[in-house]
Structure 1
Amino acid sequence: MRVETLFWIVVVVLSCLFLLYRHVNRRRLNRALGKLHKIYDEARAGFLSGSRARAYGILPQDAMLGALEAFSEARGGGPPPAFTDLTKREMRFVELLHATTSMNDREFKRTLARLSKQEQKTFQQLRDIYGGPAPRKSYARALIDRVAAYRRSRREAKLAAEHRRVEDEYWSRFDKLQISHVLEWLETEAPRDPDMWHKLVGLNWDYPEIYDILLWVVSQPECDASTAHLVLHLMQPDVAMDMASGGQRWLGASGIVDPADSSEVRLLAMIGKRSEEESFVRHELLPDRLCTEEGNASLMDMMLDEKQRIEGEGRTLPFPLPVKLLSRPVRLAGRKPKTDYDVHDDCVLLPKSLP
């Protein structure tokens, strides 16, 4: 075969492929534009019923509604024209707008190159706002994604089942003691375990019983100083101080409350009393993260400022502040609590293996 013949065969084949490629792309564009009549009519119906483009909308519907608003303003505020009544200029704008939001990146760039500079600038801005359709996946890519999703769901289901198994196994080791019975249990049956008492601070503070429970804890001679520190950081000392001095700043609709009847006040008073007596002699437990992050100095400054405010209003505190307990920096030494007991929300978890 002669070289010239081979050359022209290649040219013809490439030309046919190019024409076929253009035909396919044009057919795809025509198919997209074929839906324009319906899309325009739906947007126009929405516009006439009161729908407007959102200020920061990024959906293609917002683009079409914005065009309809422009058409309406150009006609003095009247209704936008029907699709068949669009002028050539308006029709071209709508077609390009629809193509901008429906073409993939390659088709959009090719179409953009055939427009004037002003049109290129306008529709590039619209493309930046509204974007284009999501890229189509090949069959192989879609199959790979489906397999990956299936494997991921299987793996997540397996992990969830394992998590439930471990959780069920954990909860099966305990009996739950409701917070309303904890104080009686401490006074009658519970072991004298300062490490377990430290755990009780983690009960839910939304329950009023927490104050009586912690009052009992900080009253015990073996109570660790880290437990008292944690109580001070978790409670609201300024509220207790205001109530103890006869203030009404934090009172609800129930009116004046006798400070002697407030477990919150008595809890702070007990910690302050023991602090100034230096009777928190146990320093074994590692301070909690909350105490180390906030520090004692900032808490002490807040309480001193509250005391100054109270005294400025002519009232006094009936108990000392825990100055000695908070005047020292938070210790960074110690150990974590070692106990078989635990707490969860409003319950103490009692190990079934213990008598």
Structure 2
Amino acid sequence: MPSWAELPIGQVVRLDADPDAVALALDPLPDDAPAVVTYFAAGERSVADLAASVLRELDKAAIALFPAWLPGAEGIEGPSGVNVAAVQALALRRASVTGHFGPFLAELARRALTGAPSALAPEVRAAGLVRVLADSFGRARLAVLVRVPDGLGAAAREVLVAGCEWLAHRGRAGVWLAGAPLHDDRVRTIATPLPANPLPAAAVGAREAVPVPGTADRAPAVAYPPVAGRPHPGSASERALEAALSARAWAGGRAWNQTYRPGPLAVPIRVDLLWERERCVVEINGPDHRAPAKFAADRQRDVLLQLDGYAVLRFPDAQVMTDMDTVVRQIGQFLRNRRRAEG
């Protein structure tokens, strides 16, 4: 079985594994894996539509992750002329020593502050966005895990494969398909480097439903990992909780999106929010945590953390967004009780 590092880049392949198992195995990213973002395909009608959709979503992710891919731009916010000039200068300087395409990186830095659309060609954007997203996670390569929905007709499957080939070749990204079968001779199936037991037994074979085109499905979207030390930029609830905690003196010592290893041979665990000294973990659960695979994996993670002395406080993201006072009060009460117990 290959390692994550051996999975091909610049090609379209199909993974021989359940997409939920793959997603769990990639959270947190294994040390040998490329950066991985997940694209939820939605049956686009043409290759041009698919390319435009993928680029739009990758672009949103890159801008949300700013300044992870532009060292030195931390704290530069707002579309003032001085700020725009500063980030463009940083981008051109970084491009000169890293091999990034300077005009692309400077434009992306400017747009991260101003929200303006890109004026560059799709091919330029594809290559630039792939490299920027890989940089955001400290990786040299990027793979796009494409979740294939059930119910695609022959024409939609043809569009999906052709669009993925365009992204792989123009962006030099790995494109890994998972989900519904495609029955396309152009796409070879490869072994997936999953742990021996990637899912708890209760979750094996269980899958979260992927929207079917033509139903009340959501727009195509990209999911991507968090950057260690920051709330996930794609999570409104994490960002709102951090804003609330930043005003509380007792909340000091917190760290967002940390990787924790229960033992030297154990599979690492990524936790949303950690107070290490108080051995307190806070998890914010979106709707995806109700899917059987993720629900079972959450319970397994909780047990491992609890056996190592951690308390795990879980809050639905809807509660964080609508009843922040209660969430903050409960976290604060737990931390104060732990600190008193420690003397």
Q: Whose helix proportion is higher, 1 or 2?
A: 1
Q: Same fold by TM-score, threshold 0.5 exceeded?
A: no
Name the TM-score, length of structure 2 as normaliser.
Answer: 0.19
Report the structure number with the largest CA radius of gyration: 1
Higher relative contact order (CA 8 A, sep 6+): 2
Q: Whose strand proportion is higher, 1 or 2?
A: 2
Name the TM-score, length of structure 1 as normaliser.
Answer: 0.19
